[in-house]
Amino acid sequence: MDGTVTSNASAFSGFHISPRLRRSHPPSEEAINDDAFPGHVCDGVTECVKYARDKLYCGADFIKIMGGRRVASPSDRLQNINARSKGPFRPRAVHKGTTNYQLRQFAEATLGSGSLRKAVKLPEGEDLNEWLAVNVVDFYNQINLLYGSITEFCSPQSCPEMKATDEFEYLWQDSENYKRPTKMPAPQYVEHLMAWVQSNIDNEQMFPSRIGVPFPKTFTSLLRQLFKRLYRVYAHIYCHHYPVIVHLGLEPHLNTSFKHYVLFVDEHSLASGKDFWGPLGDLVESMLRSD
């Protein structure tokens, strides 16, 4: 069951998740250049997306708050979104010797090499479903941190609808409380989205963590839905909160995280067509060309 988009474009979906067997990528000091991304104020969505495309950061690391900036740490801002959700954000432990641990180490090593295209490829001899599961949790962690950094600027008053551009409004739908597509403010939508993702990732029947337990036949379908819905948070941030991201000094981290996501979706054919990218289509094409 999926949400709908009130436009003539193809539908997207949305959700919220807690990580399975992992943590977000550790940043390296040398990857961040504090002088490379001066402050910028955008006039409207189009200019913001163009500025993001033109200033695209292609480094390998994710969240790093630069010294001297008046910005709360990612962990502090993460607490903001956790306080608004039903329960705390609790990653499962990753145990040495397990397949998940080994894949996690491989992902960290390839990301540290500076090659995002290399980082998204399936390691030789590894199970594809396990690789997809490991990475969807990482993307959840990244998106959770990014959205957590701007929650004070994304309120029911400032964002009464969950939108990207005006042509793309996302309605929430699930199998329990919202069986019909339902309009709601962006913060409420993201909260439902994250809780929905977390419940799926914590479901041992859908995301088995024990060695030798196979993934269900429906795993691929669920994974596509997870990636499709997670994209909506990126789209909302780019289209409605990009000036804030720039002001907070998080522009390189948003661009790196989104490019990593774009390359992963492209590498593993997780998009349902060109319309999948909707309002960020131009930015996505630029990212694919630049790698």
Beta bridge partners of 5: 170
- In the numeric block, the tokens 């998009």 are attached to 271
Given a cut of 70, whether residue 256 has pLDDT beyond it is yes
144, part of any domain:
yes
**If DSSP states are collapsed to H, E and C, what string results for the chain?**
CCCCECCCCCCCCCCCCCCCCCCCCCCCHHHCCCCCCCCCCCCCHHHHHHHHHHCCCCCCCCCCCCCCCCCCCHHHHHHHHHHHCCCCCCCCCCCCCCHHHHHHHHHHHHHHCCCHHHHCCCCCCCCHHHHHHHHHHHHHHHHHHHHHCCHHHCCCCCCCCCECCCCCEECECCCCCCCCCECCCHHHHHHHHHHHHHHHHCCCCCCCCCCCCCCCCCHHHHHHHHHHHHHHHHHHHHHHCHHHHHHCCCHHHHHHHHHHHHHHHHHCCCCCCHHHHHHHHHHHHHHHHHC
115, part of any domain:
yes
Q: Which residue has the higher pLDDT, 248 or 110?
A: 248
CA dist 288 to 56, 65, 259, 274, Å?
11, 26, 8, 13
Q: Which two tokens stand for residue 209?
A: 């963590």
161, part of any domain:
yes
Q: What is the pLDDT of residue 281?
A: 87
Q: What is the pLDDT of residue 18?
A: 33
Q: What is the pLDDT of residue 279?
A: 87
Q: What is the pLDDT of residue 259?
A: 93
The pLDDT tens digits of the residues spanning 111-129 come to 443 578 888 999 999 899 9
Residue 236 labelled as part of a binding site = yes
Residue 159 labelled as part of a binding site = yes
How far apart CA 142 and CA 129 sit, in angstroms, is: 20
CATH at 215: 1.20.140.30
The total number of structural domains in the chain stands at 1
Beta bridge partners of 182: 172
Give the domain extent around 169. Answer: 29-290
Q: What is the pLDDT of residue 210?
A: 86
How far apart CA 107 and CA 94 sit, in angstroms, is: 14
Q: Which residue has the higher pLDDT, 242 or 21?
A: 242
262-280 CB burial, b ≥16 within 10 A, e <16 = bbbbbebebbeeeebbbbb
Compute CA 199 distance to the chain's CA centroid, rounded to the nearest angstrom. 16
2, part of any domain:
no
The pLDDT tens digits of the residues spanning 34-86 come to 332 333 444 444 454 444 444 443 333 333 322 222 333 334 443 443 444 33
Residue 48 labelled as part of a binding site = no
Given a cut of 70, whether residue 284 has pLDDT beyond it is yes
- pLDDT band of residue 171 (cuts 50, 70, 90) is very high
- In the numeric block, the tokens 């963590």 are attached to 209
148, part of any domain:
yes
Q: What is the pLDDT of residue 291?
A: 66
Cα angle for residues 285, 287, 291 (degrees, 5° grid): 120
Q: Which residue has the higher pLDDT, 278 or 140?
A: 140
Given a cut of 60, whether residue 13 has pLDDT beyond it is no
The pLDDT tens digits of the residues spanning 128-152 come to 999 999 999 999 999 999 999 999 9
With a pLDDT cut of 70, the percent of the chain lying above it is 60
Closest CA to 234 of 285, 190, 171: 190
Round the average pLDDT of the chain to a whole number and report it. Answer: 71
- pLDDT band of residue 188 (cuts 50, 70, 90) is very high
Q: Which residue has the higher pLDDT, 103 or 210?
A: 210
The pLDDT tens digits of the residues spanning 191-240 come to 999 999 999 999 999 999 888 899 999 999 999 999 999 999 999 999 99
Q: What is the pLDDT of residue 11?
A: 28
20, part of any domain:
no
